[in-house]
Amino acid sequence: MMFRNRAAAGVQLAKALQLYHRQPHTIVLALPRGGVVVGYQVAKQLRLPFDIMVVRKLGAPNNAEFAIGAITANGQAMIDDDTVQHYNITIGDLEKIIRREQHEAQRRLQLYRGGRAALHVKNTTAILVDDGIATGYTMRAAITAIRQAGAQKIIVAVPVAPADSVAQLSLQVEQLVCLNTPNNFQAVGQWYENFDQTDDAEVIRLLHLSRS
């Protein structure tokens, strides 16, 4: 299954989540930046409140694209200890990466929200959306943060993800909805015809639209 773009994927994802249409005490939380385009459409179609959950990937010291974990703006970290040990990443290097990425997560959170208050998560059903899952580090960090914030039920909803990531994450949430779990998964972007980078301005625009 290929998706035309993130917005189209969000519309398709909403169809699989119709059970939650206009459900009280239910919110949609998206991971910036690409996940916001998907999540906005999910919230729009389901007529639900919309907000963001900012999570940053923790990249290896000499290869920022190689994930060794993830961290949220409030400091909730998910570390792959086996990978850290395998590549002999020092505690000092790890702490430096964590500080840098948490700072960036906080900066983005302030930029995107523009002073608007976050949605209340406690006692809600939280639908957590991204444009896809690869390693799953960022999603696991987001799940932990939302759980600690008091969400009553967590649903992870994504257009595409590898089957092993889906199986692992399913154990941590009440429901996981994934439209495509290809056997030959290599990267999220390969399942989109248009996977252009989402910029900060688009995230801010969609958040503003969702609250207007």
Q: Assign 115 a pLDDT band (cuts: 50, 70, 90).
A: confident
- For residues 128 and 89, state if they share a domain: no
CATH code for the domain in which residue 63 is found: 3.30.1310.20
Q: Assign 187 a pLDDT band (cuts: 50, 70, 90).
A: very high
- For residues 106 and 29, state if they share a domain: no
Which DSSP string do the residues of the chain spell out, in sequence order? --BSSHHHHHHHHHHTTGGGTT-TTEEEEE-TTHHHHHHHHHHHHHT--EEE--EEEEEETTEEEEEEEEEETT--EEE-HHHHHHTT--HHHHHHHHHHHHHHHHHHHHHHHTTPPPPP-TTSEEEEE-S--SS-HHHHHHHHHHHHTT-SEEEEEEEE--HHHHHHHHTTSSEEEEEE--TT---GGGGBS--PPPPHHHHHHHHHHHT-
State which of 91, 112, 133 marks the end of a domain: 112
Which whole number is the average pLDDT over 34-61?
96
The whole domain housing 191 covers 6-54+119-210
Statement: residue 212 has pLDDT above 80: no
Q: How many domains does the chain have?
A: 2
C-beta of residue 52 within 8 angstroms of C-beta of residue 68 = no
Q: pLDDT tens, 48-67? A: 999 999 999 999 998 888 88
C-beta of residue 15 within 8 angstroms of C-beta of residue 157 = no
Q: Assign 2 a pLDDT band (cuts: 50, 70, 90).
A: very high
Give a yes or no: residue 1 inside a domain.
no
Confidence (pLDDT) at 175: 98
Q: Assign 1 a pLDDT band (cuts: 50, 70, 90).
A: confident
- For residues 99 and 13, state if they share a domain: no
Model's pTM, two decimal places? 0.93
CATH code for the domain in which residue 170 is found: 3.40.50.2020
Mean pLDDT for the chain overall? 95
Distance CA 87, CA 93 (A): 12
Confidence (pLDDT) at 171: 97
How many percent of the chain have pLDDT more than 90? 88
- For residues 135 and 204, state if they share a domain: yes
Give a yes or no: residue 49 inside a domain.
yes
Statement: residue 29 has pLDDT above 80: yes
